[in-house]
Amino acid sequence: MVMKTERLAPDPAGLDRAADLLRQGRLVAFPTETVYGLGADARNAEAVAAIYAAKGRPSFNPLIVHCADLDQAADLVEMTETARTLAKKFWPGPMTLVLPLRPTAGIAPLVKAGLPTLAVRVPAKEVAQELIARTGCPIAAPSANRSGRISPTRADHVLTSLNGRIDAVLDGGACDVGLESTILAPVPEGTRLLRPGGLTDEDIAAVLGQPVLPAPNASTPTAPGQLSSHYAPAGTVRLNATEPRDGETLLGFGRVEGDLTLSNRGDLIEAAARLFESLQELDRRGADKIAIAPIPDTGIGRAINDRLRRAAAPREDLSA
Ligand code: TXA
Ligand code: MG
């Protein structure tokens, strides 16, 4: 789909327009002090699905939610004492905290790709702060580049990669840090460094009074973007099913009618928006054998299929 991408100035009119678009469920790239983010209303499942479609991401990686301040972040996640200490010291700034999501937060499940935790951050760049304040909603934003390209630090970089695929870019000039935020997970054992970034280990250790813990390895379920980290339903999963076999619950798509459906009208963005909540709903219904209709392997369908293949893969023996 090709659309006209508006280039907005960081003045009151441009900020109002950007905020309006976001509230309508549209995609707006905006500058932070680290890199430009591709923003959408984090509570709007279809808007969040459209982020993945615009980026051409072949899988669902959990996204960072950008907040106005510590209070707004604390409405979304359970702030531990350590998290609060870090937040008071480094927010606004290039630090992201991964914390347990509050069930009442109203965040679309696709934002966190089915994980129980949510990544939150309060950006320091004034344009970003003004945009979040005007929008009045938490903004989910990955870096504003097509999948596999480098993170953009100027509006021109964003347009090179995403022109015609997003609604607008708010041009706030160059990003100062130019490197993505440091991602930390305060856990009972200490504070884990999930991604090095704009803040140094030494800065963090000085505040914590102890060294940061290394990221857990790939087999540990809290690592970012890793295979084992994502949500899998409790039941077994069979893919490319056009009808259910004995005892199976069918998740439909398009012409394949199921017990529930990802999208009646065969819309891949709607399907992506519903994916994680549908898998969770199957668990709630106690489905022990799940069959899933074929999903076209084009556009965001590739990310859906990537996720479904993981859900269908043989389970690791977690007791081993
Ligand atoms: O500086 C930044 O962080 C920029 C600006 C726009 O804020 N954003 C950014 O987003 O770099 P992105 O999507 O390119 O990278 C987000 C990283 C991913 O590696 C993802 O796996 C990790 O954050 N992440 C998000 N939620 C997570 C969670 N619940 N648990 C672990 N890792 C998470
Ligand atoms: Mg990125």
Tens digit of pLDDT for each residue in 39-52?
A: 999 999 999 999 99
pLDDT band at 224; cut points 50, 70, 90: very low
The pLDDT of residue 300 is: 86
Q: State if residue 62 touches ligand 1 by the CB under 6 angstroms criterion.
A: yes
The residue ranges of DSSP E strands in 226-311, in sequence order, are 236-238, 249-252, 260-261, 289-292
Sequence-distant (6+) residues with CB within 8 A of 313 are none
Q: Of all residues in the chain, what percent carry a pLDDT higher than 90?
A: 72
CA distance 313 to 308: 9
Peptide bond into 233 cis (omega under 30): no
Residues that constitute the known binding site for ATP: 57, 61, 117, 143, 151, 195, 231
Which one, of 22, 253, 44, 213, lies nearest residue 136 by Cα? 22
pLDDT by residue (tens digit) across 186-221?
999 999 999 888 888 888 999 999 999 987 764 444
With 50 as the cut, is the pLDDT of residue 317 above it?
Answer: no
Q: State if residue 118 touches ligand 1 by the CB under 6 angstroms criterion.
A: yes
Mean pLDDT across 4-16: 98
Q: State if residue 59 touches ligand 1 by the CB under 6 angstroms criterion.
A: no
pLDDT by residue (tens digit) across 135-165?
999 999 999 999 878 889 899 999 999 999 9
Mean pLDDT across 122-140: 97
The pLDDT of residue 44 is: 97
Which one, of 224, 187, 226, lies nearest residue 208 by Cα? 187
CA distance 93 to 198: 9
For residue 104, count other CB atoms closer than 10 A to its CB: 8
Based on C-alpha coordinates, what's the Rg of the chain?
Answer: 20
Residues that constitute the known binding site for L-threonine: 34, 66, 121, 141, 181
Q: State if residue 124 touches ligand 1 by the CB under 6 angstroms criterion.
A: no
User: End-to-end distance of the chain based on CA atoms, in angstroms?
Assistant: 47
In order of their start, the domains of the chain are 6-226 (3.90.870.10), 231-312 (3.40.50.11030)
Residue 65 Cα to ligand 2 midpoint, Å, equals 13
Q: State if residue 32 touches ligand 1 by the CB under 6 angstroms criterion.
A: yes
CA distance 229 to 119: 14
pLDDT band at 319; cut points 50, 70, 90: very low
The pLDDT of residue 196 is: 84
> Closest ligand to 101 CA?
1
Residue 130 is encoded by which pair of tokens?
A: 């003004």
CA distance 138 to 42: 6
Mean pLDDT across 46-64: 93
The pLDDT of residue 57 is: 84
The pLDDT of residue 228 is: 39
In the numeric block, the tokens 């439909």 are attached to 252
With 60 as the cut, is the pLDDT of residue 287 above it?
Answer: yes
What is the ipTM for the molecules in this complex?
A: 0.98
Q: State if residue 139 touches ligand 1 by the CB under 6 angstroms criterion.
A: no
The pLDDT of residue 9 is: 98
Contact 43, 106 (CB under 8 A): yes
Residues that constitute the known binding site: 34, 57, 61, 66, 117, 121, 141, 143, 151, 181, 195, 231
The pLDDT of residue 219 is: 41
The pLDDT of residue 320 is: 35
Query: Which residue type is seen at 186?
Result: P
Residue 75 Cα to ligand 2 midpoint, Å, equals 25
The pLDDT of residue 1 is: 65
